[in-house]
Amino acid sequence: MTSSPTQAPQQPAVRESEFRRGLPALIFATLGAAFGYAALAYFVGVLVVPLGEEYGWSRGDVVQVNLWSGIGLAVLLPFTGALADKRGIRIVSFIAIPLFAVLILSLTFFDGALWMFLASYAVIGAVGSGTSAVVYAKVVSRCFDRHRGLALGILAAGLGSVGLVFPPMMGAIAEGFGWRATFLAMAVLAIVPLFGLIFAKIPAASERTATAPLRGMTPRAALGRREFWMLLAIFFLIGWALLSMVPHFIPMLIDSGVDPVTAALLSSLVGLGTVIARPILGWAFDRFNAIHVGVPLFVLAAIGCVVLLVGGAALAPLTALLIGIAFGAEIDLMSYLSSRYLGPRAFGRLYGAIYSCFTIGAALGPVTAGYLYAAQGSYSTSLVIAVIALVLGSAILLALPKYPRDAASE
């Protein structure tokens, strides 16, 4: 009788202490997501036309950078995740962030063949695994439980802000100073998360409860669970669909007569949709079934692709906004569901595998769209493929079993 009144008011205190304790780590993770590996995709569209003009490369050639950086990421990410699980995030970040920045800076001096450019991106992707969303989602998952969805939404909004700012900013830099200057700007920004790491209080990899190890699946157990394989398939398909057209928005708008800076500004609507969606969706994930929140947004993105297919480049801004909102759901949902289904025990390795599948899908989609454009002179087939992938991914998502809602049941 006396325990209920004393227990009832504890939830706000838990929220306050969780955010007060985890705020420095959340700031570090948000900066890392904003200026780490994932940010590279947001200014590929700016490079398509100038690199094509200078070196004679096709659009499919240029957007291959996403594919090869994705391959580099996929190869090294399981090892990076394992290192973060065993040795902690600090050591991974202190090694990866400066090296990532130096490699990007080296592209300001590039003057060679296409294969050298793609190889450089593959190495950047491999090193960038230490600056990927896997590392930063692990930070948030270790520091937040009750309000993990909201914290992941704030983290993802940092990346979305880059999607909003980078296209016009990098477009203006490329227009005024040349495409090489975009890599100089990115290299400077890539160092910024190190300052956040100094103040972040991240639980050490060796921290465990006094009586038990961390809960969650081991890698061997995950291989026998259908949830793990379904997550791999879902985010490969949706990554392919949502990222297929993002690098092509700018060249598509330029083809329709829009000047490059305005085209970059319009393409930033992807980032606008993402920034708006992610904190709201993270809040919703903590209160409702995250799957039921995400699926309608993926369906809206499919409708956006149909709108672009029917209406042409004039309706590209609407499609960009719908895809941005769905993309806001995807990254947040991928992190949230992975943390709930897999648990923290081997989160770095297992989420690394899921994120690698997402990255490969997100890289293959734009490359395929580029070569289909070269063969057909339009993006119609690519849009149809994106719609099919969104519908199929949503169907598999709805077939997932119910996930645990808290750490005690993970």
**Domain residue spans of the chain:** 22-202+217-409
- The predicted structure's pLDDT at residue 2: 43
Q: Say how far apart CA 270 and CA 284 lie, in whole Å.
A: 21
364-374 in b/e form (b: 16+ CB < 10 A) is bbbbbbbbbbe
Our measurement of the distance from residue 266's CA atom to the centroid of its chain's CA atoms, rounded to an integer in Å, reads 20
- List C-alpha distances in Å: 318 to 273, 309, 324: 10, 12, 10
- The predicted structure's pLDDT at residue 122: 93
Please state, for a pLDDT cut of 90, what percent of the chain lies above it.
18
CB 386 within 8 Å of CB 244: yes
Amino acid at 299: V
pLDDT tens-place values along the chain, 410 residues long:
444 444 444 444 444 577 777 788 888 888 888 898 888 877 787 888 889 888 988 877 887 888 888 889 888 887 887 788 778 788 888 999 999 999 999 999 998 899 999 999 999 999 998 898 778 877 887 777 777 777 877 877 777 677 778 878 888 898 889 899 999 999 999 999 888 787 777 665 544 444 445 567 777 888 888 889 999 999 999 989 888 877 777 777 777 667 777 777 777 777 677 677 777 777 787 778 888 888 988 998 898 888 878 876 677 777 777 877 787 677 778 878 888 888 777 777 788 788 888 888 887 888 888 888 888 887 789 889 999 999 999 999 999 988 765 543 34
- The residue behind tokens 């005690």 is 408
- The predicted structure's pLDDT at residue 47: 86
- The predicted structure's pLDDT at residue 13: 47
Q: CA 8, 14, 16: angle at the middle one, nearest 5?
A: 120
- The predicted structure's pLDDT at residue 44: 80
Fold of 22-202+217-409: Growth Hormone; Chain: A; (1.20.1250)
**Maximum C-alpha span of the chain:** 78
Amino acid at 248: H
> Taking the model in full, what pTM does it have?
0.69
